[in-house]
Amino acid sequence: MTRFRLTIEFDGRDYMGWQRQDHGPSIQQAIERAMAEVVREKVVLHAAGRTDAGVHAYAMTAHVDVEREISAFRLMEGTNAKLRPQPIAILHSEEAPADWHARFSCVGRRYIYRIANRRAPLALDQGRAWRVPVTLYADEMNKAAQVLVGRHDFTTFRSAHCQSDSPVKTLDRLTVRRLGPIIEVEAAARSFLHHQVRSMVGCLQLVGRGKWSAKDLKAALEARNRAALGLHAPPDGLYFVEALYDGALQGR
Q: Using CA atoms, how far apart are residues 183 and 180, in angstroms rounded to an integer?
A: 8
Number of domains in the chain: 2
**How many angstroms separate the Cα of 134 from the Cα of each of 97, 176, 184?**
50, 17, 16
The CA distance from 69 to 248, in Å, is 23
| Domain end marker among 79, 104, 129 | 104
86 and 195 share a domain? no
**37 & 160 share domain:** no
On whether both 36 and 8 belong to a single domain, the answer is: yes
Is 90 found in the same domain as 162?
no
Residues with Cβ within 8 Å of residue 53, at least 6 apart in sequence: 12, 15, 16, 17, 24, 235
Q: Which helix (H) or strand (E) holds 216?
A: helix 214-223
Pair 241, 59: CB distance under 8 Å? yes
Percent of all residues in the chain with a pLDDT value above 90, rounded to a whole number: 93
**Domain annotation covers residue 249:** no
Same structural domain for residues 38 and 136? no
Domain assignment of residue 79, yes or no: yes
Does one domain contain both 68 and 179? no
Instruction: Report the mean per-residue pLDDT for the chain.
Output: 95
Residues 99 and 218 in one domain: no
Query: Is 32 exposed, middle or buried, given 0-12, 13-18 or 19+ CB atoms closer than 10 A?
Result: middle
Same domain for 20 and 44? yes
pLDDT of residue 222: 97
Q: What are phi and psi of 21, to 5 degrees?
A: -130, 155
pLDDT given at position 58? 98
Is the peptide bond preceding residue 85 cis, with omega within 30 degrees of 0?
A: yes
Question: Given this model, what pLDDT does residue 247 score?
Answer: 65
Residues 37-61 have pLDDT tens digits of 999 999 999 999 989 999 999 999 9
pLDDT value at residue 162: 85
Residues 100, 185: contact at Cβ < 8 Å?
A: no
Q: Is the pLDDT of residue 250 over 80?
A: no
Indicate if 74 and 28 belong to the same structural domain. Answer: yes
The reply to whether 117 and 176 lie within a common domain is yes
Return the CATH number at 114: 3.30.70.660
Q: Report how far apart, in Å, the C-alpha atoms of 42 and of each of 6, 73, 159 are.
A: 17, 19, 33
Same domain, 65 and 132: no
Strands 88-96 and 2-10: antiparallel
Domain span including residue 216: 108-242
pLDDT score at 215: 97
| Residue 185 within a domain | yes
Q: Is residue 31 part of a domain?
A: yes
- What would the mean pLDDT of 231-250 be, rounded to a whole number? 87
| CATH number for the domain that contains residue 93 | 3.30.70.580
pLDDT at residue 87 tops 60: yes
d(Cα 185, Cα 237) in Å, to the nearest integer?
A: 10
Q: Which is more confidently placed, 38 or 164? A: 38
Residue 247 included in any domain? no
The reply to whether 252 falls in a domain is no
Q: Is residue 208 part of a domain?
A: yes
pTM of the model: 0.94
Q: Of 84, 104, 124, which marks where a domain is finished?
A: 104
Q: Catalytic residue numbers? A: 52
Looking at the domain assignment, is residue 179 inside a domain? yes
The stretch 213-238 carries a mean pLDDT of 97
- Residue of 222 and 23 predicted with greater confidence: 222
Q: Decide which of 104, 125, 159 is a domain's last residue.
A: 104
pLDDT digits (tens, 9 = 90+) for 88-145: 999 999 999 999 999 999 999 999 999 999 999 999 999 999 999 999 999 999 999 9
pLDDT at 209 over 50: yes
Q: From CA 30, how far away is CA 36, in angstroms rounded? A: 10
What is the Cα–Cα distance from 168 to 152, expressed in whole angstroms?
A: 5
From residue 17, give the alpha-carbon distance in Å to each of 13, 52, 61, 238.
9, 4, 15, 12
pLDDT category at 236 given cuts 50, 70, 90 is very high
Q: Are residues 100 and 116 in the same domain?
A: no
